[in-house]
Structure 1
Amino acid sequence: MDLVIAERGRTAAESLAATSRTVTRLDDLGYRRIWFAEHHGTGLSASVVPAVLIAHFAAQTSGIRLGSGGVLPPNHAPLALAEQFATLATLHPDRVDMGIGRGPGTFDQPIVRALRRGGEPSTDREYGEDVAAVLHHLSGEGGVRLISDWQPDLGGTRPWLLASGPDSAALAA
């Protein structure tokens, strides 16, 4: 798991370049997987957009799986998430993981409201509905045609549900 840490005295570009060197070295060493987190407003991260990082690092590597740990449905439309990860999976077959997380990615309430376009943090029910919608769109059901053959199954590229509490664990089950 990486946050693309923005160390004191380093620019965002320097932090991203350092992470790029790390990811390519991990790929060279035969590591199997690295995921990128979505954490907003911390001042510690040079990037909070897992899909962009996955695309960038997948283009620089050849074998390591890249994923989100996790992308946060409360912050994004489920269809947009499905389209982003289906596109990534099409461009980089068998190398993309979608880790779906529960939280807003920050404890800063103004940022939460900005991400939710003025709305309140999602409830457990809304989160479950968002996860179901992402999986529904990835499955190709519902009349939405994605450009990928990526299916949420047990092979190849697949979504993961990240759980840190009983409600999320029950949803994962």
Structure 2
Amino acid sequence: MTDPQPSSDAPAPLSSAKALAVEDWLVVILMALLALITFANVLVRYFTDASFAWTEEISVFLMIVLAMVGGSSAVARDQHIRIEFFSGQGSVQRRRRLARLGALMVALLFTVLAVLSVRLVWDDWRYEETSPGIGVPQWWYSIWLPVCSIAIALRALGLFVRQGRPGAFAPEIVTDADEPGAQP
């Protein structure tokens, strides 16, 4: 008996894993920066009863970018949220169509978000908006929204293409050992 082909929940192939290393390292770097900034602020507040004014602004920015980079990674790995009752039921053809429709809708959503956020960046630059905490140009922060949105849209389009390939949705074979509470 041959092994079933990997389902959409299988780990990404090696070539995709190398491409995902960028997002993985960005997440690590962003989390480390966020932890260091927050820890430094806690230490300063503990010892001096004062705090760095810029830490909240930078922390919020880092959390937003972290969410967007994590979202890009989740879309590329096909691990984004879905309603399993609908996406996991039915024939292979139905599951493939729903998965491809989902990937296409994610790509469309983040393309629209990228286009609209370019307008936001343009307004921040044109009206010389500054950040409330440290007074740097606001576009320094808002420029990352269209960049990350384009990355997510491209990842979703890549997922759409991968899901159209033969074998992307092989039916899973469930054995007695796979069921919860089964004895080996």
> TM-score over 0.5 for the alignment?
no
TM-score normalised by L of structure 2: 0.28
Tell me which protein shows more strand as a share of its residues: 1
Tell me which protein shows more helix as a share of its residues: 2
Tell me: higher relative CO, structure 1 or 2? Use CA pairs within 8 A at least 6 residues apart. Answer: 2
If you compute each CA radius of gyration, which structure gives the higher value, 1 or 2? 2
TM-score normalised by L of structure 1: 0.29
